[in-house]
Amino acid sequence: MIYIVIGFLWLSICLYIILGGADFGAGIVEMFTNKKARHKTHEIMYESIAPVWEANHMWLIIAIVILFVGFPEIYTTMSTYLHIPLVLMLVGIIARGTAFTFRHYDAVKDNWQVLYTQIFYYASLLTPFFLGLIAAATVSYSINPDATTFLDLYIFSWLNWFGVSVGLFTVALCAYLASIFSLRETRGKDELLLMIRKSKQTMIFVVITGILVFATAYLSDIPLLMWVFSKPLGIMAIAFATVALLLILRALNNQKLLPVRALAGFQMVMILVAATYQHNPDIILLGNGQHLSLLEHMAPPKTIAALGWALMLGSLFILPFLFYLMASFSKLRK
């Protein structure tokens, strides 16, 4: 049953990165669009994320519940030493959702809309950045329970150059996903060309920040290159992600957009595989040499069994109705 629970954990993380990432990216893409095209981009992004934007955070909630119930020691470690970026990320999610609601559905359109828009932009940018900081901290040996100062325990455990680079990479991935996912929502040649251009720009940003991640990992003595390229699985994952990138680029040039969403989602999965397979099932690598493993630091077997059954039964209701929701709104837009 433990492998079923772990499977649901990784599924929820993958879906949050893909769907939630595209959600965050909508605000990022709109933020970095020139004023002339911003209104058009705003309308396209609204069509892309408005129907299901709140549902995307369901996957984050599922991941948190799995860690809390099934892996309490891992949950405690993260919520203790990474409580600052976690709180900032949650504040960003709340601020973004509130701003999105008032920006679009407020009964009165006045100067407050400008404030709501700015909150939406910066929350969309900073929330995935903090998510990247948290992810980097779990694998960078920067969390050290044996540290004796507040800065070492609760600040430098996540605030370092490697974490910043992973945060920027996460922001780039979100913008890239939003650009790719919004291609199918365009109406007319001008909108399509605008989003194709945005997709290519964010693609370049992803490549640059990806190189930056490897560079800062090397300078920080984090064996990321070894994790990714020392075994065939990592090499294959990077190769598949690169091929998917080239196929997406070709589809953009030919304006044949049917496969691009699936290819972009596949890329995210391959990036996760490449970054984590080497030390799996160790999910947190501590600075004192210890590791927290999904197989060694789990709840009692009865708890895992109950959690596994709950996840399987819940998936019978959540997944079909979620896809039905997406399909329904897709038909309405057509």
Q: Write down the domain spans for the chain.
A: 2-333
Residue 322 reports pLDDT greater than 60: yes
Is 332's pLDDT higher than 70? Answer: no
Looking at residue 51, what is its pLDDT? 58
Secondary structure letter of residue 221 according to DSSP: T
Quick check: 130 and 89 in contact, CB under 8 A? yes
Is the pLDDT reported for residue 215 higher than 80? yes
pLDDT(172) > 60: yes
Looking only at the bridges linking them, the beta strands covering 282-285 and 291-293 are antiparallel
54-80 confidence digits (pLDDT tens): 677 888 999 999 999 999 999 999 999
3-state secondary structure of 286: coil
Whether the Cβ atoms of residue 168 and residue 211 lie closer than 8 Å to each other: no
| Average pLDDT of the segment spanning 207-228 | 94
Mean pLDDT across 279-307: 92
- The sign of the CA dihedral 326, 327, 328, 330 is positive
* pLDDT of res. 277: 87
Q: What is the pLDDT of residues 24-39, one digit of tens each?
A: 998 899 888 888 887 7
Instruction: Please state the rounded mean pLDDT for residues 165-178.
Output: 95
pLDDT score of 52 more than 70: no
* Range 215-226 average pLDDT: 93
pLDDT of residue 295: 92
Question: Which two three-digit tokens encode residue 59?
Answer: 């996957």
Least trusted range by pLDDT, from 1-5, 179-183, 237-241, 262-266: 179-183
Which residues is 282 bridged to in the sheet? 293
Question: 285: which strand partners?
Answer: 291
Give the pLDDT confidence score for residue 331 in this predicted structure.
Answer: 60
Query: Of the ranges 140-149, 238-247, 320-329, which one carries the lowest mean pLDDT score?
Result: 320-329
Assess whether pLDDT exceeds 60 at residue 144. yes
* Average pLDDT score over residue span 325-332: 66
How many percent of the chain have pLDDT more than 90? 59
Q: What share of the chain has pLDDT > 70, as a percent?
A: 96
Report whether pLDDT(334) > 70: no
Q: Looking at the chain, list the stretches that DSSP marks H as alpha helix, in order from N- to C-terminal side.
A: 2-15, 21-31, 35-49, 58-70, 72-81, 83-105, 112-139, 150, 161-181, 189-219, 224-229, 232-254, 260-276, 301-333
